[in-house]
Amino acid sequence: MSEKNNTQCPTIFITGAGRRLGLHLVEHYLVAGWRVIAHYHSANELSASKQKQYGNQDLYYCVQANLANVESVERLTEEVIDLLKNLNVKLDGLIHNASCFYPDDLSAPAEQQWQNAQAMTAVHLAAPQLISLKLADLMVESSSIIAMSDIYADLPNEQFASYCAAKAGLQNLALSLAQRLAPHVRVNVIQPGPVKFLPEHSAEYRQKVLSQSLIKKELGYQAIQQGIDYLLAAQAVTGTILRIDGGRSCANRYQQTFID
């Protein structure tokens, strides 16, 4: 990093850091000696022993918030700001990893469809904007904000229109923030592909998804972590969309559509 914090280690804030990719990133940066501020919504799966271990080393802090609620987001930002000031440090990195997903259900009542769309827009767009702007002045020179978008931001899926639109909004927001916060803060986007399947995904579904990529294998969280490590360190990179999708976004969709 171009500017050192005065407590001997860099500091990163990760949203959606209670499980899956976010949890992997928390553990990765703790092991690497970073100070991690971890946001979670409903579940924090980092073991109590690790929370205690790294907390005693002044390296781990967790904050709960519902990113679909503006009062909760404001409280979150104030807690992070107070923590940074009390520690007398600034952020080296901010990762907008939190995600919210509801499939479009046209049979659901209009009110439910509206609430689902609002929640996805809030989590992917409104909350990252508020958090970024509130914390920008507490980031070190040439620090990095990274927004976790989706390949569907550019290749929308009609069955998940609200989710795709919300992720596209996050991506567009990040590129706008790259302009607004330059040159002090760098802002980039990662578009993940088939990173880690859920237990409920069938073998048929997994095979279909992997057949649509060039690498044709489950990428794993480490692939995203490597991209984040790069963007945190790449001092000349801002306003960039980094696809970590196994080549899925440029696969031959003619063959996928017309050839068995």
Distance (Å, rounded) from C-alpha 225 to C-alpha 30? 13
For residue 210, pLDDT beyond 90: no
Residue 224 CA to residue 191 CA, distance in Å, equals 9
Which of 87, 100, 71 has its CA nearest to residue 13?
87
Q: Where are the domains of the chain?
A: 11-199+218-250
Q: Which CATH architecture has domain 11-199+218-250?
A: 3-Layer(aba) Sandwich (3.40)
Q: Cβ(191)–Cβ(154) under 8 Å?
A: yes
Residue with tokens 């790069």: 230
Q: What is the pLDDT of residues 3-55, one digit of tens each?
A: 444 457 999 999 999 999 999 999 999 999 999 999 999 999 999 999 999 99
pTM given for the model: 0.91
**Per-residue confidence (pLDDT) for residue 258, from 0 to 100:** 42
pLDDT single digits (tens) 178-202 = 999 999 999 999 999 877 776 777 8
